[in-house]
Amino acid sequence: MTNRKMHVLVVGSGGQLGHALKLQSSQYPEFSYTFWDRSDLDISVESWVHERVTSLKPDVVINAAAYTNVERAEEDREGARAGNTLGPSFLAEACKSIEALLVHISTDYVFDGNSKTPYTEEDEPHPLNYYGQSKLDGERAVDAVFDHYFILRTSWLYDSYGHNFFNTMLRLAKERGELNVVNDQFATPTYAGLLANDILLLLKKKYVEHVTIPCGLYHYTHAGEASWWDFARAIIKESGLSVPVHPVDSSRFPTKAKRPGYSKLDITKWKTNTGIRISTWEEALQLCVTTASIE
């Protein structure tokens, strides 16, 4: 590396993770940044991706873009495939041609939930819904192009910005005065603000501090596990609201897309290889609530 700052391109910067990356980037002045939302670059258009990414020539591309509507994906398979499978493969091709690193985000929904223990990177995926399938196909499409990537599978991403469970619970608590929340699906809620920070910290460790961190597939969440009900109760409590939160069975909310009952990810590989401090999901939630009250 010369003295030139490494250049990081974030695509999908209009979403919750993209927004969080933009906020966190000020903490990492050792890199320069470009942020593109969907109007700047639609990752599902191959020629557009090739032309824009190869002319910018970033050192790292972080893909925060995805088709994330799990319910709609069941019917709009073409749309989900475009955003979650084709888009990542076009980004990987563009990265390969300019020798850039690709950081790509995937999901716990690649698993079916039949395990009794946390899923490792070695476990065989078996998605229950088309969103999960399109994300798994995206991982495989990236891997088919090259191996210069970090694919981070995460779960139950939330932030004080954007459409997510955290904001939905706060809105419904105010609108309805009580909540019914499913208590038979378990994983680890993950704060996009901390994920964004840890992605940039990973890059700093690898490229500025020259720590040896092998590329590849990683599971990334906080520590611990929760049901949606546990998570909802904690959101209400941390936000200083007093609203009853009733546990209910997921059969009370029929959905087109099946969800795994248990999709906790084992994060041992991430912890061991990066040495980055892991928060509990409760600590991360406190941080999200505190940060939201300051913004």
Looking at the annotation, which residues are catalytic? Answer: 131
**Calpha distance 139→153 (Å, rounded):** 10
User: Nearest approach, Cβ of 191 to ligand NAP (angstroms)?
Assistant: 11
- Contact flag: residue 118 with ligand NAP (CB under 6 A): no
Q: Confirm or reject binding of residue 169 to ligand NAP (CB under 6 A).
A: no
- List of residues 6+ apart from 52 with CB closer than 8 A: 36, 40, 41
- Residue selected from 113, 127, 162, 193 as contacting ligand NAP according to rule CB under 6 A: 162
**DSSP per-residue codes, 111-125:** S-S--SSPBPTTSPP
Using CB under 6 A as the criterion, what x/- string covers residues 12-41 for binding ligand NAP? x-xxxx--------------------x---
State the minimum distance, in angstroms, from the CB of residue 224 to ligand NAP: 16
Structure tokens that stand for 132 in this block: 């999960």
Shortest approach of ligand NAP to residue 133 CB, angstroms? 12
Phi/psi of residue 184, each to 5°? -130, 25
Any contact of residue 157 with ligand NAP (CB under 6 A)?
Answer: yes
- Region from 10-18, 90-98, 168-176, 198-206 binding ligand NAP, contact rule CB under 6 A: 10-18
Choosing from 65, 92, 136, 203, the residue that interacts with ligand NAP (CB under 6 A) is 65
Bridge partners of residue 152, in order along the sequence: 105, 218
Nearest residue to the partner ligand NAP, using Cβ: 15
Residues 6 or more apart whose Cβ sits within 8 Å of residue 57: 7, 98, 100
- Could you give the string, one character per residue 76-115, with x where binding to ligand NAP holds by CB under 6 A and - elsewhere? -------x---x-----------------x-x--------
Query: Alpha carbon of 225 to those of 184, 228, 241, 250, 266: distances in Å?
Result: 12, 10, 23, 18, 11
